[in-house]
Structure 1
Amino acid sequence: MSSTEDLIKEIEDEIQNTKYNKATSHHIGRLKAKLAKIKDEAVTRAMASAGGGEGYSVKKSGDGTVVLVGFPSVGKSTLLNKLTGAESEEGHYAFTTLTVVPGAMEHKGANIQILDIPGLIAGAAMGKGRGKEVIAVVRGADLILLLGDVYNEKHIDVLISELYDAGIRINREKPDITIKKSSNGGIRFNTVGYTGLDLEEIRAILAENKIVNADVLVRGKVTQDDFIDAMMGNRVYIPAFFAINKVDLVDEETRQHIVKDVTKRFGRPPIMLSAHSGYNVETLKDEIYDHLGFIRIYLKPVGGKPDMDEPLIIRKPATVESVCNKLHRDFVEKFRYSKVWGNSVKHDAQRVGLNHVLEDNDILTIVTRA
């Protein structure tokens, strides 16, 4: 092991062997902050060591971007081809995909970009395999599909661990924490509601990052890990769900056992599919659409009829401003007001501003200055 790996293991062992209580919470918080800093520095070095390789700079397109994350040879390339018709090379050996292969999936009026990336392996966050390039692509996605197969579904735990070490938080809301450094005054800790942390814990965690003067505001209950993530400032929060491939290769009893096991470990059942035969691929498309949180907005020109055939697809939370930005930036600069028909307003043709939050199937008219 390298010295960094030794130090990480030593701190992890100390955290695990220290019983958590009020007396030890400050010490544990400081250990966790130290561990996060060491891991973050190791990941940063790994990412910078060789830069991105050819094929790893992918421009986002469409209404949303989904990245397929899995171990080598779980069938990501086959699945991409089935979903999009893209030509990602398939093979029954590891690391068939050596670059990022994009494809476009049309579903329910949405144009969804699907990215097939090289398989992750244990240690990817620290740069092993093609980890440094792959992680950078994952961090920019709108949705992660964690893909296992019937022979290695337990590897999903490793995938989640690698993403976590790389600062990717799946299926978690970003905690409402503000940390503003100051030049003096020590740590001023303000809360809205019960936070679950006390001032001494906050001081201990911040001290590990050499922050001794700051204004801290926490809204709602948070954990030490949440606070450390806010202190680090480079975490991304991305929704994710699970799918298990190659179910056509095992019997029904084995399938049910896998569903129960994955559901027990992650709190939600996986999509059981066969990319090769197409089994449940349409269900997977629906899941992708739903997880991206799309809504349909029908545009109505001033004095005209709404276009009910081609809705504008946009992700929640969708405001009038986000619709304007998607259409053209001039709509925001020249905006006067808009009118809405639908569930988001109290009455039809209600006048609203840029901050109004729209709902699925709303009809929208945007009025601008000449």
Structure 2
Amino acid sequence: MDIQQEIKRLEEEIRKTPYNKATEHHIGRLKAKLARLKEEAEKQRKKTGGEQYAIKKEGDATAVLVGYPSVGKSTILNALTGAKSEVGDYDFTTLKPVPGMLEYNGAKIQIVDVPGLIEGASRGRGRGREILAAVRNADIIIIVVDVFTLENIDVLKNELYEGGIRLDEKPPDVVIKKRATGGLSIKSTVDLSIDEQTIRSILREYKIHNGEVLIREDITIDRLIDAILGNRAYIPSITVVNKIDLYPDAEIPENAIAVSAEKKINLDKLVEEIYRKLDFIRVYLKPPGGKVEEEPMILRRGARVEDVCRKIHRDLLENFKYARVWGKSVKFEGQKVGLEHELEDGDVITVYAR
């Protein structure tokens, strides 16, 4: 039995097994083995080479439009950015990623239209694996359906999940420190819904027999596997329902934004939500001995001094000596900090190089 056959067998067994306390340990082991085999299959696929989709990131953040063919992704891109992505009423009009640039509130947001994603994409249908690999680099994912295909929202979210993309989630609060000997120590700071036997079984599937595991959330089997693999992409998302002008009475799902790219309806709401979800901060540069620059540098929340240096010039990162910061992120004005220092909105920074 090859890897793909074993994957299908495990998926079928998991689907048929009812989840309860008595089966938890068995399902945990099956899911761990399934995730491991999928990782092996993906590594084998990458070795075979072939054409890859690539997104060259530009601007302050990158938003990727994901959806079935012919739902209006290209029209949305053109309406938001003035790009010239080909528009057609037939499937797979977009054959490679097409970028455009949206400027809003001082931020430059790259919007990218990728080839249509369809059911089975995570298994390779329609070049799905290559598309998903490109999507993983996004700073935000915009899921696009139209008023006639609302059922595809769940399909697309599932394909993204199977492709290792976790929408609107934070990484699992789990720390795993492997050791060569000494057995396995499992500690938690919260009450856990899954038992220790299940946790140990999952860890053994990945040959983790010695080490310390600290769990700081009520972990599920799937999130524990994600923590062990450590290669999931955690990306915020927005769901957009296009062509609202063709069916104004459609029941739009909660938290989705109804638009008409063709008629320019609610595109302002979409732009505002993209900006809000990207959670930008503004940092002001002050050259050594000079005045604070008027135009801020736009960064994502959680950015560090290292990100400022990289954005100015990569040589600055190599020759970095220290930085001084004024603002909310420091205890006192002009505090001397290193590359790891996390910045806050409105901070002023001076970078000193060797």
5+ unaligned residues in a row in structure 1: which ranges? 264-268
Please state how far the C-alpha of 1:35 moved relative to its aligned partner: 2.7
Letter in 2 for 1:292: L
Q: What residue is the counterpart of 1:270 in the other structure? A: 256
Instruction: Choose which of 152, 156, 162 in structure 1 pairs with 2:153.
Output: 156
Letter in 2 for 1:30: R
Q: What residue is the counterpart of 1:364 in the other structure? A: 349
Distance in 2 between residues matched to 1:303 and 1:208, nearest whole Å: 58
Question: In the alignment, is the contact (CA less than 8 A) between 1:76 and 1:147 conserved in 2?
Answer: yes
Instruction: Choose which of 285, 301, 306 in structure 1 pairs with 2:292.
Output: 306
Q: What residue is the counterpart of 1:283 in the other structure? A: 269
Q: What residue is the counterpart of 1:266 in the other structure? A: none
Two-structure CA RMSD over aligned residues (Å): 2.4
Matched, 1:320 2:305: yes
Distance in 2 between residues matched to 1:336 and 1:233, nearest whole Å: 31
Matched, 1:296 2:295: no
SS at match of 1:130: helix
Question: In the alignment, is the contact (CA less than 8 A) between 1:40 and 1:166 conserved in 2?
Answer: no
Please state how far the C-alpha of 1:270 moved relative to its aligned partner: 1.0
Letter in 2 for 1:52: E
Question: In the alignment, is the contact (CA less than 8 A) between 1:47 and 1:132 conserved in 2?
Answer: no
SS at match of 2:212: strand
Distance in 2 between residues matched to 1:346 and 1:182, nearest whole Å: 37
Q: What residue is the counterpart of 2:227 in the other structure? A: 230
Deviates more, 1:125-134 or 1:330-339: 330-339
Q: What residue is the counterpart of 1:211 in the other structure? A: 208
TM-score (norm 2): 0.89
Distance in 2 between residues matched to 1:352 and 1:194, nearest whole Å: 41
Please state how far the C-alpha of 1:361 moved relative to its aligned partner: 2.5
SS at match of 2:182: coil
Question: In the alignment, is the contact (CA less than 8 A) between 2:59 and 2:110 conserved in 1?
Answer: yes
Question: In the alignment, is the contact (CA less than 8 A) between 2:7 and 2:38 conserved in 1?
Answer: no
Partner deviation per Cα, 1:254-289 (whole Å, 9 max, x = no partner): 2xx22xxx22xxxxx111111112112222122212
Distance in 2 between residues matched to 1:129 and 1:111, nearest whole Å: 31
Letter in 2 for 1:363: V
Question: Does the C-alpha gap of structure 1 residues 48 and 81 become closer, same or farther in structure 2, counting only changes over 3 Å?
Answer: farther
Please state how far the C-alpha of 1:329 moved relative to its aligned partner: 4.0
Q: What residue is the counterpart of 2:70 in the other structure? A: 73
Instruction: Choose which of 340, 346, 353 in structure 1 pairs with 2:337.
Output: 353
Distance in 2 between residues matched to 1:124 and 1:59, nearest whole Å: 22
Distance in 2 between residues matched to 1:291 and 1:39, nearest whole Å: 31
Distance in 2 between residues matched to 1:33 and 1:334, nearest whole Å: 43
Q: What residue is the counterpart of 1:334 in the other structure? A: 320
Question: In the alignment, is the contact (CA less than 8 A) between 2:286 and 2:292 conserved in 1?
Answer: yes
Instruction: Choose which of 82, 85, 90 in structure 2 pairs with 1:88.
Output: 85
Please state how far the C-alpha of 1:161 moved relative to its aligned partner: 0.7
Matched, 1:26 2:11: no
Partner deviation per Cα, 1:166-220 (whole Å, 9 max, x = no partner): 1111111001223344433332223344454443112111223343334323233
Question: In the alignment, is the contact (CA less than 8 A) between 2:74 and 2:87 conserved in 1?
Answer: yes
Letter in 2 for 1:294: F
5+ unaligned residues in a row in structure 2: which ranges? none
Letter in 2 for 1:353: V
Q: What residue is the counterpart of 1:3 in the other structure? A: 5
Please state how far the C-alpha of 1:47 moved relative to its aligned partner: 5.1
Matched, 1:51 2:55: no
Percent of aligned positions that are identical = 47
Distance in 2 between residues matched to 1:72 and 1:334, nearest whole Å: 47
Question: Does the C-alpha gap of structure 1 residues 329 and 49 become closer, same or farther in structure 2, counting only changes over 3 Å?
Answer: closer
Question: Does the C-alpha gap of structure 1 residues 49 and 148 become closer, same or farther in structure 2, counting only changes over 3 Å?
Answer: farther
Question: In the alignment, is the contact (CA less than 8 A) between 2:288 and 2:350 conserved in 1?
Answer: yes
Question: Does the C-alpha gap of structure 1 residues 345 and 233 become closer, same or farther in structure 2, counting only changes over 3 Å?
Answer: closer
SS at match of 1:153: coil
